[in-house]
Amino acid sequence: MSEATVASPREAKIAVKGLRKSFGTNEVLKGIDVEIAEGEVVCVIGPSGSGKSTLLRCLNKLEDISAGHVIVDGFDVTDPKVDINEVRRHVGMVFQHFNLFPHMSVAENIMLAPVELKKATKAEAREQALKLLERVGLREKADARPASLSGGQKQRVAIARALAMNPGIMLFDEATSALDPEMVGEVLQVIRDLAAEGMTMVLVTHEMGFAKEIGDRVVFMDAGVVCESGPPAELFGNPQQDRTKEFLSKVL
């Protein structure tokens, strides 16, 4: 194992060190340092355009990283020798707009990765897909097309799909923002269950109540930097920074 891939001494599940990201001349992340322990649930909040999504997408290298290091499950994703596809199997991701594959059935969406990555035969993968659908309460939708599902159901399928490779980490980018209000609850319940099972999770969210309830820690980002972070009770109850106070006064 090269030096770059050695995990930090505290055995952080995710370690972000001096992360910078620019789109052309526009620097969007201006040096982020965050460590997330195994089983920890971290909620990322902040104004629109502050770089929350970009930070999340750097964790599984959907964005190229301009500078710094991101270490996930012991892999330095900035190390070109590291097989990023291997790392991504350890990290599930859920998108705001679900991004289900419309030309496949619900079960096929979930089976795609295990079958294509030769982790399971078709029969085993289907078995597992049905179990995952059971977990998100949608077993009867296994053979439906995504187009026939409601938004909440789509997002629950997307979560099941992200769980198909048994990842140790789950990333959620505004998983409930595109949903009608009456459907937010069913998705949050699935996330709550995952937290209870001890999944390491990073959630970008606008649901402050949910962040307070579920988060072990809340990170407030503004203009490409982590402005303030701490346990939800402290950050929401007694924010230290003016920018945090100003943001919270608008959203709470």
Give contact residues for ligand ADP (rule: CB under 6 A). Answer: 23, 28, 46, 48-54
d(CA 145, CA 79): 39
Q: Angle at Cα 163 formed by Cα 117 and Cα 139, nearest 5°?
A: 105
Longest dimension (CA), the chain: 56
Site track 108-127 with another protein (rule: CB under 8 A), x = hit: ----xx--xx----------
103 lies in the site for another protein, by CB under 8 A:
yes
21 lies in the site for another protein, by CB under 8 A:
no
Nearby residues of 197 by Cβ (< 8 Å), 6 or more positions away: none
Nearby residues of 249 by Cβ (< 8 Å), 6 or more positions away: none
Cβ 51 to Mg ion shortest distance, Å = 9
Q: Which of ligand ADP, another protein, Mg ion, none sits in contact with 48, Cβ below 5 to 8 A by type?
A: ligand ADP
Which of 32, 76, 77 has its CA nearest to residue 55?
32
Q: At which residue do the structure tokens 């992360």 appear? A: 19
With CB atoms as reference, the residue minimizing the distance to Mg ion is 53
Q: Segment 23-82, which members bind another protein (CB under 8 A)? A: 60, 62
Torsion angle (degrees, nearest 10) of CA 228, 210, 99, 111: 110
Please identify which residue in 141, 156, 161, 243 interacts with another protein, judged by CB under 8 A. Answer: 161
Q: Which of ligand ADP, Mg ion, another protein, none sits in contact with 244, Cβ below 5 to 8 A by type?
A: none
Which of 197, 201, 130 has its CA nearest to residue 169?
201
Cβ 26 to ligand ADP shortest distance, Å = 6
d(CA 47, CA 219): 12
d(CA 156, CA 139): 11
Torsion angle (degrees, nearest 10) of CA 228, 170, 117, 142: -150
Please identify which residue in 132, 162, 211, 218 interacts with another protein, judged by CB under 8 A. Answer: 162
- Amino acid at site 153: Q
Q: Which of Mg ion, ligand ADP, another protein, none sits in contact with 86, Cβ below 5 to 8 A by type?
A: another protein
106 lies in the site for another protein, by CB under 8 A:
no
Cβ 95 to another protein shortest distance, Å = 6
Please identify which residue in 95, 220, 236, 247 interacts with another protein, judged by CB under 8 A. Answer: 95
Binding site for Mg ion (CB under 5 A): 53
Binding site for another protein (CB under 8 A): 60, 62, 85-89, 91-93, 95, 97, 99-103, 112-113, 116-117, 158, 161-162, 164-165
